Amino acid sequence: MRTFQAGALALSLLVTGSAYSQQAAFSTAEAAKNGWAMEQNRSAGWFLSQHKRLATAIATLQPQKPGIVDAYVISIGLDSDAVFARESAEAAKVLARRYGAAGKTLFLTAGADDGPSGAPQGSPSNLAVALAAVASKMDLKEDVLILFATTHGDPVSGLAYRDGIDGVGMIAPQRLSSLLDDVGIKRRMVLLSACYSGIFIPLLTNDQTVIVTAASSQRTSFGCAPGNDWTFFGDALVNNAFRKPQKFDAAVAEAVQLISGWENVLKLMPSRPQVFVGDNAHVWLDALEQKMPRTETPKIGRPAIAAN
């Protein structure tokens, strides 16, 4: 997966005029900590369409069941390259089935048009609304959020948001951490398919959090060509390991081994996926996996390694 150059985004913000010239230079790294995003050249109809789409999706969320550990899934593709839409769409289905989140899943993806229906835009602002909506449905002491995000990544600014030249932005670890903490979601599984996504681990960890990232804080991940069906991480973890009726630890071990094998075959620098499991996370993880389907579902799409 190629690096997303956050600094290049600043070029889209060049503004003429003396008022701007007197301001401090724009820093994407600092702005990303606050959840920087910009939409440009969007029609009024596009904004209304996104509002309706997101409201409709949120309205379908089912309430949690008292006394049961319910999982809510948010799967988001933050870049309009088609691979991220395909990966996040299928991840939403696989995770919903595995963790019993049918009717409790939101799918968002960049590249949304202004039509009356379809998935809401996978943007930082829509992600924030989705997190708040899910938190309002959850019993925060009992239920779990499963967040899957796929996009390009930057070693400083974090997850990239891009929709051609019309939507740009970044979500740094500080921003994602504050979004989750502000809505009170402590029980969470965070799956990040992006280069350098290991930078999120230090700021997202707590004793009830599970995190799996596609790469360490200093490494790229692979498979993000627009024509692909999967990135290496998505294919290994979601399309292979999570489709099987096996426990989380075994699934992650399988995914890491698959990725390592593919990288060795192609002579790529190891991405070094990172895994963190909080001391108390197995309380809710074991409860969810007791209800896990006992049959495997077939893999979808072309294997990530086949496209390289």
268, part of any domain: yes
Task: Name residue 223's amino acid.
Answer: G
Is a pLDDT exceeding 90 seen at residue 20? Answer: no
Q: What is the CATH number of the domain that holds 182?
A: 3.40.50.1460
Nearest to 125 by CA among 90, 76, 158: 76
Exposure class string for 150-172: b at 16+ Cβ within 10 A, else e: bbbbbbbbbbbbbbeebbbbbbb
Residue 105 lies in a domain: yes
Domain containing residue 165? 36-307
Statement: residue 180 has pLDDT above 70: yes
Spatial neighbors of 116 by CB under 8 A, at least 6 apart, are 49, 52
Residue with the larger pLDDT of the pair 22 and 80: 80
Tell me if 295 is assigned to some domain.
yes
pLDDT tier for residue 1 given thresholds of 50, 70 and 90: low
Domain-located, residue 46: yes
Tokens of 52: 């309706």
Average pLDDT on 123-149 reads 97
> Is 82 a domain residue?
yes
Residue 30 counted as domain residue: no
293 part of a folded domain: yes
Given a cut of 80, whether residue 17 has pLDDT beyond it is no
Task: Write down the mean pLDDT value for the chain.
Answer: 91
As a whole number of angstroms, the distance between CA 15 and CA 155 comes to 26
Number of separate domains in the chain: 1
Per-residue confidence band for 232, with pLDDT thresholds at 50, 70 and 90: very high
Mean pLDDT, range 70-96, rounded to an integer: 97
Query: What average pLDDT does this structure show over 252-268?
Result: 97
CA pair distance 146, 288, nearest whole angstrom: 11
Query: pLDDT band for position 9 (50/70/90)?
Result: very low
Q: Does residue 228 sit within a domain?
A: yes
SS3 readout for 3-67: ECCHHHHHHHHCCCCHHHHCCCCCCHHHHHCCCCEEECCCCHHHHHHHHHHHHHHHHCCCCCCCC
Q: What is the mean pLDDT of residues 178-202?
A: 97
In terms of Cβ atoms closer than 10 Å to its own Cβ (0-12, 13-18, 19+), residue 233 is: buried
pLDDT at 308 over 80: no
Residue with tokens 């970044």, as numbered in its chain: 170
pLDDT in tens, 204-227: 999 999 999 999 999 999 999 999
